[in-house]
Structure formats: structure tokens, C-alpha cells
Amino acid sequence: MSPSPDSPVVVAARRTWIGTAGHGLADLGAADLAAPVLGAALADLPAGHGLDVADVALGNCTGPGGNLARVAVLGATLLDPAGPLTEQVPGVTIDRQCGSGLAAILLAAHGVRAGEADLVLAGGVESPSTAPLRSRRPRRGSAASPVPYDRAPFTPPEYDDPDMGTAADALARAHGIGRERQDAHAARSHARALAAHAEGRFDAEAVAVGNLARDERARPLDLAVLARLPSAFTPGGTVTAGNASPISDGAAVVAIVPERERARLGVPGLRLVGGVTRGCDPRLPGWGPVPAVRGLLARTGRTTDDLAAIELVEAFAAQVLAFTDALSLPDDDPRLCADGGALALGHPWGASGAVSVVRLFSRLVRAGAPAGSLGLAAAAVGGGLGVAGLFEVVR
């Protein structure tokens, strides 16, 4: 069956190289990271496409506040005063924690499907290196000093508000996921990323910003060395610095148009088949992608056997393995993060879900997968959520 003329289709997808926080991209703020990626995604459209950008939606978790997407639009306008991004283009910033980038893409696609926009840019950005310090204001009249804190709460205190690392340890215990499997998955993710770098599979999607010429994190991992690393979050836990993703800086953006415009332009793309967001036990947020993906597959009448590519945000090896066990996928499924995931590339929280869609675009559209090939993107979210999107190649 032919897709509807109003079906939202990703026709361009770009990201920065991903830097480890405090290193290669440490001097660039979130808007500075996003602005050149917005321009690069637009530059990938055919010359003379004749489409005006209706809006820009960016996910972000820890930025300076305010409407970061609008700041990035204006930054892109300054970078290219004669370009398609002008002062008339608005922007909206979305916070769904680690699912923000994918959530921004799904929400922007709704506007395209509703006929309210013929071109939107959506994605995410994160710069923990430049994120502001947070503190709670003392009560009025109190002589106390402001109290600093690391992050906004994921839950009310009655749910214990676990950090994601602590929650990953709890998920591993609850589902019997041992240390050896987690370390093996981390080593496999890094090996896949190193192979992809060596073969240039990231080059077409990457936008050079700062001083980075590749993703900063990926490296050869020795299982014997991984086995000696101490628990990172809870005493006796199985999550370590080796099988957890690093805090990272980066941005990712996709361009979305309706199918009728994609056909007019004569370019291939990824049609959004459907998106689902589900809640789960907030004490085990890493479980979130499981109900989201199950619901998405049921709604669209597909199964995991139908998928050509899967991109799950690899925040922790434990949550990846809980996902593969729940969906009866092998640990080394070649469809899952085939070029490595966030464990190896880095995890810029608000951007990572959008990085997953960029990766699907490269793996399926740029690589020449046939029309009808399906790709799945999914992420777990602090507070107990899962976000998932199903995409189909159209040519």
C-alpha cells in the first residue's frame, strides 16, 4: 500500500561527532553545537527545493533554560545570513530526558502529518560540559545559603528518585543479567564502532564542529581489564565505567517533509510508520523501551522479524540486554546498533534519541536498503519511560 501524501518522511539526517564531556567539545555550548547541524541538514536537501522551514524542535535536558531551539535557529541564521534559516523561523525546546531527541522528532512529525508544515527540523542537543550549576533558592527570610544539586528530579521522593546508574544495577539484578554479559556487550559495541570508523561509515552523517574529527569515546576494550573495574554506582553492583555510556556532548538533527514533497523532490527517505511512548516502574526506567516497542509493533502489525535495523540508546549494557531478552533477540544480533551505540559513541542525553534516527538513515537510506525496509529507534528515559519510533525506507 502506498504511503499517504501527508506521511512524515525524514529526508536528511546529520549529527556532530560526539565528544566526551570536558574534552573535545567542551568549549561549545548547546546552541553552538546545534546551529551548524541545523544548517548541514538543510544543505543536504536538493538545491531549489522551494520549502520554507516551518519550525525547529530540539530536545535538551540540562541546558541553560529558555527556548534553546530558538537560540540555535538564530545562531544558524548568523552562520549563514543568506541561508534558509531566518529570523522568521520559530523554535521549541522539548525535555523528555534521554528520549528528548526522539520525542522531538515524533512531535514534529505530527505537525507534518496534520498538514501544518511542509518542512520541519527536529532532533536534540546536549552540552553537559557547559551546563549551568543548579541550586535551590532558600526559603524567603531564611539565612541559609542556596543548596546545590546535580539534576532535576525524575520522580517524587516517594519513588526514591533513583539515578540512572543505580537503576541500571537494580534492573540487572531484577532480570538476572550478569557482569560478564554486560562487559561482553560493551566490548562488542566498541569493536563495532571502531570498525565503522575505520570503514568511514559515519563520515556522510557527521558535521565537524570544534576540534573533533571522530567520535571521541570508541576504543579497543580488553575483557580482562573490564572484569577488574569496580562497581560504579552501588556496592557489589555489576554496572561499571566500562559497561556504562559516558556523559557526552553532541547534537543531531533530521529534516522532515510530507511524502508528497519527498516524491516531488525525488529523494529517498525514512517514512515514520508510528511512534509510541509508554511509562513503566520509575524505579526501573531502563525497562521503558520494552513496553514502548511492544506497543509500537502491536499497533503497526509488525514483529521483530520484520526489522532490518534497530537503534536502541545504549545508556547501559544492562538495559540493552534486558531489552534483547524481553524481545527474544540474541545478545549479538547484527541488526542492533550494528556500528556501535552510545556505549562506544557517547550519550549526549537530549540528542541520543535523534542520533539513533540519524544512524537508521545512514544504515538504511544512505546504504541503499530497498524500499520497505524497516528500522526501529528506541530509548529509555529517567522517571520510567520508553520512547520508540518505527521507520520505513521509501524511494
Question: At residue 392, does pLDDT exceed 80?
Answer: yes
| 218-242 average pLDDT score | 97
Q: Which residue has the cell 570508541?
A: 218
Question: At residue 2, does pLDDT exceed 80?
Answer: no
Percent with pLDDT over 90 in the chain: 93
| 80-90 average pLDDT score | 94
Measured CA to CA, the distance from residue 251 to residue 35 in angstroms comes to 9
Question: At residue 72, does pLDDT exceed 80?
Answer: yes
| pLDDT at res. 337 | 98
| pLDDT at res. 144 | 82
Question: At residue 141, does pLDDT exceed 90?
Answer: no
Measured CA to CA, the distance from residue 108 to residue 190 in angstroms comes to 32
Question: At residue 140, does pLDDT exceed 90?
Answer: no
* Mean pLDDT, the chain, whole residue set: 96
Catalytic residue among 185, 190, 197, 347: 347
Q: What is the pLDDT of residues 190-228, one digit of tens each?
A: 999 999 999 999 999 999 999 899 999 999 999 999 999
Is 61 a known active-site residue?
no
Buried b / exposed e along 148-166 (16+ C-beta atoms within 10 A): eeeeeebeeeeeebbebbb
Is 49 a known active-site residue?
no
Q: What is the pLDDT of residues 290-307, one digit of tens each?
A: 999 999 999 999 999 999
| pLDDT at res. 1 | 63
| 260-283 average pLDDT score | 98
Degrees to nearest 5, angle at CA 208 with 210 and 203? 150
- Three cell numbers, residue 116: 501544518
| pLDDT at res. 120 | 98
pLDDT category at 147 given cuts 50, 70, 90 is: confident
* 143/16: higher pLDDT: 16
Please report, for residues 181, 294, 303, 326, the alpha-carbon distance to residue 189 in angstroms, rounded to integers and kept in the order given. Answer: 12, 24, 24, 20
Query: Domains in the chain and their CATH numbers?
Result: 8-133+248-269 (3.40.47.10), 158-199+273-394 (3.40.47.10)
Q: What is the pLDDT of residues 304-322, one digit of tens each?
A: 999 999 999 999 999 999 9
SS3 83: coil
| pLDDT at res. 94 | 97
Please report, for residues 23, 41, 334, the alpha-carbon distance to residue 225 in angstroms, rounded to integers and kept in the order given. Answer: 23, 40, 25
Catalytic residue among 49, 61, 98, 185: 98
Q: What is the pLDDT of residues 348-361, one digit of tens each?
A: 999 999 999 999 99
SS3 166: helix
Residue partners of 392: CB distance under 8 A and separation at least 6: 3, 270, 271, 273, 372, 373, 374, 375
pTM beyond 0.95: the answer is yes
Residue partners of 187: CB distance under 8 A and separation at least 6: 221, 222, 223, 226
Q: Which residue has the cell 534558509?
A: 84
| pLDDT at res. 252 | 98
| 332-340 average pLDDT score | 98
